[in-house]
Structure 1
Amino acid sequence: MEKPAKEESNAPAGAQNPSHLFGGVDSISSLPDEMLHHILSFVPTNVAITTSVLSKRWRHVWCKTPYLSFPHITSSSIESILETLDSYTAAKIMRFHLHVDSETWEDSERSNHVDSLIKFAISRNVEKLSLVLKAYYVFPDFFFSNPSLKQLIGDSLNYMRPKCTVSWTSLQNLSLSNSSLDESFPKLMSGSPMLKSLTLQSCSLSCIDLSESPRLRRLDLEFTNSSPRKCHIVAPHIHYLRMIDFTQKYSLADVSSLIEANIDTMYFLPRFWCTQDYPSKDDYQVMMQTMLNELQNVENLTVGLSFLQMLSIAEFHGVHFPTLKVKTLTLKTTILRSAVPGIAKLLQNSPELSKIFFYKTEDWNSAVEKYVNRYIDPQDPQDLIFPAKSAFKVAQPDLVASFMELLLRNSRTLKTLVLQLRSCLNTTNYDELSQIALTLSHKNKVSIVLK
């Protein structure tokens, strides 16, 4: 008998039948739809659509996946995407991602297409919505009324200025980047009564007032590339605060419920604070005093090198350090002379401290080090033990031992000390440091762990 002709495949390259991958056994196609949908959630939707030509089993799988992703939409593709979505049959969208480049806006019709895509997601009760809009776009009123939305991630949403009432009654997580929010922020907050977590990155704001957000527990702020505007942070209900790269004019006005904080400044800021006119000595003292007072009830505190350098300068200027309630302190820094006074004072004013975690980093700036070291007493032999010019690439046992002794000497209630030196440890140094750590551990009755 003549063999039947081999069936030709219309599948595009890279979209072959899965059975070819498993010696004729199509293990993937035998999986339930829920698992196939999960697999497709890791690829853009245009790639997921190509699986429809694999076999009859795959023909309609993508149509029911609750995860849709459209990265880098262009003006030539946006209309075809809308046509393709006519075949989509899932009643519920769990996650919807849309990235639109500036070239998409060639005329007003493009904006209408974006309206349609967002409206489509909302009509399917989307729970997690991610929008990256790299061009002018005015959000329609329907965008601000979505009872199913639980998470919103937005980048470059400079024209998210609702004229209507905001009603995001289920929203729990909000993350915004590169947006001007002065006009819209109060409305967004009042329309999100269930909000638990707020992230703002490089957003322009004069006041972050969260006093009317009683469920909000987490506030994450990054002010990279933002202008040095005056901004007060009022967040009396939050339990966790991460504030990275803030400028000298941002201040904590009320974070009275704070339990955990992660604080660091722009890496070049201490250099400016060492000068006489930027800012003035009095402004510096007031700002640091206010911040330290607001952090005094924090139990878990994480600080970076720049903030430790600021504390060193504060110690020199005679800024009053309140008694802190820190029980776990995480130091993310390299071992440099400019950080020593700040670390010592921080430890001395934390009488309940029981754990210290040290993570060795490479983030430092030689110009900053030069300015901060002006205030280090050149006659203090203890300070001269630590380097003033460069960070070590390989852990030097004598230096690390001195650092451990510094931590132990200034912590009366310490029980655990963990040093994460990462790639800085080689076999020889590890053995030598382990012996030093063992000796210090027995002497001070503290558990010392090297990693």
Structure 2
Amino acid sequence: MEEPPPKEESNAPGGAQNPSNLFGGVDSISSLPDEMLHHIFSFVPTKVAITTSVLSKRWRHVWCKTPYLSFPHHKSSLESIHETLASYTAPKIMRFHLYVDRETSEASERSHFFFSNSSLKQLIVDSWNYMSPKCTVSWTSLQNLSLRNSSLDESFTKVLSGSPMLESLTLQSCSLSCLDLSESPRLRRLDLEFFNSSPRKCHIVAPHIHYLRMIDFTQKYSLVDVSSLIEANIDTIYFLPRFWCTQDDPSKDPSKHDYHVMMQTMLEKLQNVENLTVGLSFLQMLSIAEYSGVHFPTFKVKTLTLKTTILRSAVLGIAKLLQNSPELKKIVFYKTEDWNCSVEKYVNRYMEPQDPQDLIFPAKSAFKVAKPDLVASFMELLLRNTRKLEKLVLQLRSCLNISNYDELSQIALTLSHKNKVSIVLK
């Protein structure tokens, strides 16, 4: 009996299996063009990509030309990074991911190479605390900047002044006292997420932005100048409505007056926005503001997106927002999860029903399945408080089963003809 031929030995290190073994002896991966292989390398650390060079002659130099470099772990020493860059031959780097600890930061600070780069277009930094530049920043091509988990000091001013082409700025869980973007004339998009509540007040000056996303803010953040704003996505920290409506009388608790001022100022800064997206917590804050006598300006909103669930605490805020948006043409309603319904009882306890019809809407635990009578009442609420509405889109998603869809479709058809509004169920 003839013995089978011996298996071909591979000198590939662990984790660098020959690609022919992955497809039953057919090396399908190696036949791909370099561009496709580079795209595959973009999903793994550069150290892993380098190990493929031992597979065959075909793979020997592929990693050297990939436009994506990633050194994500603290085990990537400066020596190994320099050695890798010495063998790197790609004409342009499209994405560079580097884990920075204090040692790496101090080394980069000495050479200044990181803060002087004329080709860098997008930068994402998690914890700027290690990256505060003491030198002049020159990122003359930087367009998109994202910072996370950082305490921003005066060094951030150097970043802004050294990034004249900056178009988009994202700050997540960053602590700062003032965000002055008046000297960034090309900046059009500002994305703010305040997962950490900063003890300091923050004033936001952004006269050139067209789009603002402001999520989980507190009463400590105020919009000073957003005069060019045309689109906004706004929602508060989920516990803020509860905190506000459990405060004492303003004469006894000055912080309650701070909420009034905060909401009054924010509403004034949003009055020229044409595309507005709001979440449940912000709608609850609007309800409290309306009940407390906060003045609502006239808005220029043409498209309003409601990312909420149908709850009584949001009804007053929605109605007031609609009534003060005379040019509104389109409403999009996205049914969201009920993750902050615990706030509902505090808000409803604080506010007495303004209209007997408010009692139609649930005070707790929104629907898992879209009940036709509840959705119909909600549609009527929206239609009753608008003047020039042309289209209403309801994104009920998994809450809409087949039987309820048929019934809601008939209701929507009736309301559509009656109000001369196009109603779409999704």
Fold-level match, TM-score > 0.5? yes
What code does the residue aligned with 1:383 have? D
- The alpha-carbon deviation at position 269 of structure 1 amounts to 0.4
Superposed, 1:14-163 pairs within 5 Å as 15-22=16-23, 24-74=25-75, 79-100=79-100, 111-112=103-104, 141-163=112-134
- Deviations along 1:386-405, whole A, 9 cap, x unmatched? 11121211111111111011
Superposed, 1:424-443 pairs within 5 Å as 424-443=399-418
**Cα gap change, 1:443 to 1:139, in 2 (>3 Å):** farther
* Structure 1 counterpart of 2:372: 397
Q: Is the contact between residue 338 and residue 365 of structure 2 (CA under 8 Å) also seen in structure 1?
A: no
Q: Is the contact between residue 353 and residue 411 of structure 1 (CA under 8 Å) also seen in structure 2?
A: yes
- The alpha-carbon deviation at position 2 of structure 1 amounts to 11
- Counterpart secondary structure, 1:158: helix
* Structure 1 counterpart of 2:297: 322
- Deviations along 1:359-418, whole A, 9 cap, x unmatched? 111144344212211343347311100111212111111111110110111111111111
- The alpha-carbon deviation at position 115 of structure 1 amounts to 6.3
**Cα gap change, 1:286 to 1:81, in 2 (>3 Å):** closer
Q: Is the contact between residue 141 and residue 163 of structure 1 (CA under 8 Å) also seen in structure 2?
A: no
What code does the residue aligned with 1:267 have? Y
- Counterpart secondary structure, 1:89: coil
- Counterpart secondary structure, 2:238: coil
Instruction: Report the Cα distance in structure 2 between the residues aligned to 1:228 and 1:388, rounded to whole angstroms.
Output: 33
87-96 or 290-299, which moves further after superposition?
87-96
Instruction: Report the Cα distance in structure 2 between the residues aligned to 1:175 and 1:206, rounded to whole angstroms.
Output: 18
3-12 or 228-237, which moves further after superposition?
3-12
**Cα gap change, 1:53 to 1:438, in 2 (>3 Å):** same
Instruction: Report the Cα distance in structure 2 between the residues aligned to 1:43 and 1:383, rounded to whole angstroms.
Output: 54
Instruction: Report the Cα distance in structure 2 between the residues aligned to 1:311 and 1:2, rounded to whole angstroms.
Output: 81
* Structure 1 counterpart of 2:193: 222
* Structure 1 counterpart of 2:220: 249
1:184 corresponds to which of 142, 145, 155: 155
Instruction: Report the Cα distance in structure 2 between the residues aligned to 1:281 and 1:427, rounded to whole angstroms.
Output: 47
- The alpha-carbon deviation at position 228 of structure 1 amounts to 3.7
Instruction: Report the Cα distance in structure 2 between the residues aligned to 1:181 and 1:407, rounded to whole angstroms.
Output: 42
- Counterpart secondary structure, 1:216: coil
Q: Is the contact between residue 68 and residue 95 of structure 2 (CA under 8 Å) also seen in structure 1?
A: yes
Instruction: Report the Cα distance in structure 1 between the residues aligned to 2:239 and 2:406, rounded to whole angstroms.
Output: 36
Q: Is the contact between residue 376 and residue 383 of structure 1 (CA under 8 Å) also seen in structure 2?
A: no
Q: Is the contact between residue 174 and residue 196 of structure 2 (CA under 8 Å) also seen in structure 1?
A: no
**Cα gap change, 1:6 to 1:349, in 2 (>3 Å):** same
- The alpha-carbon deviation at position 20 of structure 1 amounts to 4.2
1:286 corresponds to which of 261, 265, 270: 261
Q: Is the contact between residue 377 and residue 383 of structure 1 (CA under 8 Å) also seen in structure 2?
A: no
- The alpha-carbon deviation at position 143 of structure 1 amounts to 2.4
Instruction: Report the Cα distance in structure 1 between the residues aligned to 2:28 and 2:131, rounded to whole angstroms.
Output: 46
Q: Percent identity?
A: 85
- Counterpart secondary structure, 1:73: coil
7-16 or 163-172, which moves further after superposition?
7-16
* Structure 2 counterpart of 1:11: 12
Question: TM-score, normalised to structure 1's length?
Answer: 0.87
- Deviations along 1:301-350, whole A, 9 cap, x unmatched? 00001110111011111111111110100000111100000000000111
Q: Is the contact between residue 219 and residue 258 of structure 2 (CA under 8 Å) also seen in structure 1?
A: no
2:332 corresponds to which of 357, 365, 372: 357
Aligned length: 421
58-67 or 91-100, which moves further after superposition?
91-100
- The alpha-carbon deviation at position 23 of structure 1 amounts to 5.5
What code does the residue aligned with 2:403 have? T
* Structure 2 counterpart of 1:169: 140
What code does the residue aligned with 2:70 have? S
271-280 or 417-426, which moves further after superposition?
271-280
- Counterpart secondary structure, 1:332: strand
- Counterpart secondary structure, 1:404: helix
386-395 or 347-356, which moves further after superposition?
386-395
- Deviations along 1:48-97, whole A, 9 cap, x unmatched? 1222222210111112211111222327x665454444433324222111
* Structure 1 counterpart of 2:276: 301
- Counterpart secondary structure, 2:72: strand
- Counterpart secondary structure, 2:233: strand
269-278 or 235-244, which moves further after superposition?
269-278
**Cα gap change, 1:425 to 1:4, in 2 (>3 Å):** closer
Q: Is the contact between residue 338 and residue 372 of structure 1 (CA under 8 Å) also seen in structure 2?
A: yes
**Cα gap change, 1:228 to 1:411, in 2 (>3 Å):** farther
- Deviations along 1:142-187, whole A, 9 cap, x unmatched? 3222111111111112143322222111111111111111222222
- Counterpart secondary structure, 1:144: coil
Q: CA RMSD in A?
A: 2.4
Structure 2, unmatched stretches of 5+, are none
Instruction: Report the Cα distance in structure 2 between the residues aligned to 1:318 and 1:45, rounded to whole angstroms.
Output: 59
- The alpha-carbon deviation at position 5 of structure 1 amounts to 5.8
* Structure 2 counterpart of 1:127: none
Q: Is the contact between residue 214 and residue 237 of structure 1 (CA under 8 Å) also seen in structure 2?
A: yes
Instruction: Report the Cα distance in structure 1 between the residues aligned to 2:354 and 2:227, rounded to whole angstroms.
Output: 40
Instruction: Report the Cα distance in structure 2 between the residues aligned to 1:229 and 1:139, rounded to whole angstroms.
Output: 32
In the TM superposition, structure 1's runs of 4+ consecutive aligned residues that sit over 4 Å from their partners are 1-6, 20-25, 77-82
421-430 or 370-379, which moves further after superposition?
370-379
